[in-house]
């Protein structure tokens, strides 16, 4: 931690914690939401899809709105959207209002995570940037350990509205840490958005965005329905499901920091290796889903590696888009959540057409293998580019001449 701006990174992590709790606790509350709102579980799952769609729509819009705005002011504006949106969720009288409130709340998501990642990289030495991003996204893993199980438990005990009020309090506390700990004088320049968006066409950036999308589609096909998979397939009780979310969260925390270290060491090879493990574990989950103990072990290992990819993917995008880090970082969040929306929708569609909860991991497997293939192509292309650049350098020419 030496040389790293701990308190500013902690304030960003606190904001990430609140957002991730609000997003991910929905998976544990689907049965309660479905019963309370008198809808099916697949229809309740569309609340996850709606949030993800909101993130996707908002990503380019918020990139335009926040262009050139002071970063601390931007973060506080985004936190205000988050707090208001969750208040409306807590007060929503029916499914339609709740869905609309979830979409509104999502408008802060891509910009907040994207800008937070850029700030973390900018204020940290290059050889620690991936770890700094991992610290910020550590808020997500803490959410899976504390926020999601707590929200699930509160929702089961006091109703899902109480879980949203909990998230409102988390958002307020996070905003206070941003006010106190994040410096006001963080350099920001108004950039030419046309030029920044053109950078998205860079081959490495484009492949990174596509890999992110396919991976998160594979994640949300399964994670959206973790509670019914554990309950209806493995036979877990409601109390056991809360503990599973807690154990899963501990695994994601390990994975997040592991991913940061691996990305600082060998970025693309690490990404390829971690995606390969994710693919293997999805197959294992499908095979052992009937056994609560084996299913939990497989889910935890899966969680370690899928969340290890978060900082690695984000720093891949930021480094590949050197001339457009802000927009690229925000668009990557949009890509992740486009994948999340597609994944949750695919899961709901698969269930509608009669696929069993136990077989959902096979859908995620196909999407993950697609991401793996693209990542391998990206790694090969980068290796060939570096090899060609080295061969053309004056130094290598001198060596070849015997000097």
pLDDT in tens, 241-286: 878 878 888 888 888 889 888 888 888 899 999 999 999 999 999 9
Compute the distance between CA of residue 255 and CA of residue 163 in angstroms, rounded to an integer.
26
178 inside domain: yes
Q: Please, what is the average pLDDT of the chain?
A: 84
Parent domain of 98: 9-183+190-390
402 inside domain: no
Environment class of 28 (CB within 10 Å of its CB; exposed 0-12, middle 13-18, buried 19+): buried
Is pLDDT larger for residue 125 or for residue 151? 151
Q: If DSSP states are collapsed to H, E and C, what string results for 174-239?
A: HHHHHHHHCCCCCCCCCCCHHHHHHHCCCHHHHHHHHHHHHHHHHHHHHHCCHHHHHHHHCCCCHH
196 inside domain: yes
Compute the distance between CA of residue 98 and CA of residue 93 in angstroms, rounded to an integer.
8
126 inside domain: yes
pLDDT band at residue 403 under the 50/70/90 scheme: very low
pLDDT band at residue 374 under the 50/70/90 scheme: very high
Is the separation of the CB atoms in 234 and 290 below 8 Å?
A: yes
395 inside domain: no
DSSP class of residue 67 equals T
Query: Which stretch of 70-79, 82-91, 249-258 has the lowest confidence by average pLDDT?
Result: 249-258
3 inside domain: no
Q: pTM value?
A: 0.72
pLDDT band at residue 324 under the 50/70/90 scheme: low
Angle, alpha carbons 326-253-154 (nearest 5°): 100
Return the CATH number at 156.
Answer: 1.20.1250.20
Contact residues for 202 (Cβ-Cβ < 8 A; gap 6+): 320, 321
Structure confidence by residue, pLDDT tens digits, 261-272: 888 888 889 999
Q: Smallest Cα–Cα separation from 290: which of 370, 358, 392, 196?
A: 358
397 inside domain: no
Domain count, the chain: 1
Structure confidence by residue, pLDDT tens digits, 197-231: 666 667 888 898 899 999 999 998 998 888 888 88
Tokens 């262009």 — which residue? 67
């Amino acid at each position: 931690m030496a040389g790293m701006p701990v308190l500013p990174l902690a304030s960003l992590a606190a904001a990430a914690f609140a957002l991730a709790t609000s997003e991910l606790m929905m998976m544990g509350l689907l049965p309660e939401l479905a019963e309370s709102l008198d809808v099916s579980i697949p229809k309740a799952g569309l609340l996850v899809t709606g949030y993800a769609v909101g993130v996707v729509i908002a990503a380019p819009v918020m990139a335009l709105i926040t262009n050139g705005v002071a970063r601390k002011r931007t973060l506080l504006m985004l936190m205000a959207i988050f707090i208001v949106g969750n208040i409306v969720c807590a007060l929503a009288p029916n499914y339609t209002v709740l869905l609309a409130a979830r979409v509104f709340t999502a408008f802060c998501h891509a910009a907040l995570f994207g800008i937070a990642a850029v700030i973390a990289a900018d204020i940290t030495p290059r050889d620690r940037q991936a770890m700094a991003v991992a610290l910020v996204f550590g808020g997500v893993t803490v959410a899976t350990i504390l926020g999601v199980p707590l929200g699930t438990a509160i929702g089961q005990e006091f109703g899902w509205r109480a879980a949203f009020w909990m998230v409102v309090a988390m958002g307020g506390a996070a905003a206070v840490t941003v006010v106190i700990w994040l410096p006001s004088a963080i350099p920001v320049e108004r950039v030419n958005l046309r030029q920044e968006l053109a950078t998205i066409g860079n081959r490495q950036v484009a492949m990174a965005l596509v890999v992110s999308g396919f991976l998160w589609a594979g994640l949300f096909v399964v994670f959206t329905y973790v509670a019914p998979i554990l309950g209806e397939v493995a036979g877990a009780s409601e109390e056991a499901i809360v503990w599973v979310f807690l154990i899963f969260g501990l695994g994601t925390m390990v994975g997040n920091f592991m991913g940061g270290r691996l990305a600082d060491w060998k970025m693309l090879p690490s990404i390829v290796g971690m995606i390969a493990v994710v693919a293997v574990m999805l197959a294992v989950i499908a095979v052992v889903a009937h056994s609560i103990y084996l299913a939990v072990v497989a889910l935890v290992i899966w969680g370690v590696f899928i969340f290890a990819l978060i900082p690695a993917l984000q720093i891949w995008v930021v480094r590949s888009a050197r001339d457009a880090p802000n927009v690229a970082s925000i668009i990557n969040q949009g890509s992740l959540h486009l994948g999340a929306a597609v994944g949750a929708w695919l899961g709901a569609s698969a269930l509608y057409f009669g696929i069993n909860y136990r077989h959902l991991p096979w859908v995620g497997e196909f999407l993950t293998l697609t991401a793996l293939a693209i990542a391998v192509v990206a790694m090969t292309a980068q290796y060939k580019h570096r090899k060609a650049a080295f061969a053309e350098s004056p130094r290598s020419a001198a060596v070849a001449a015997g000097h």
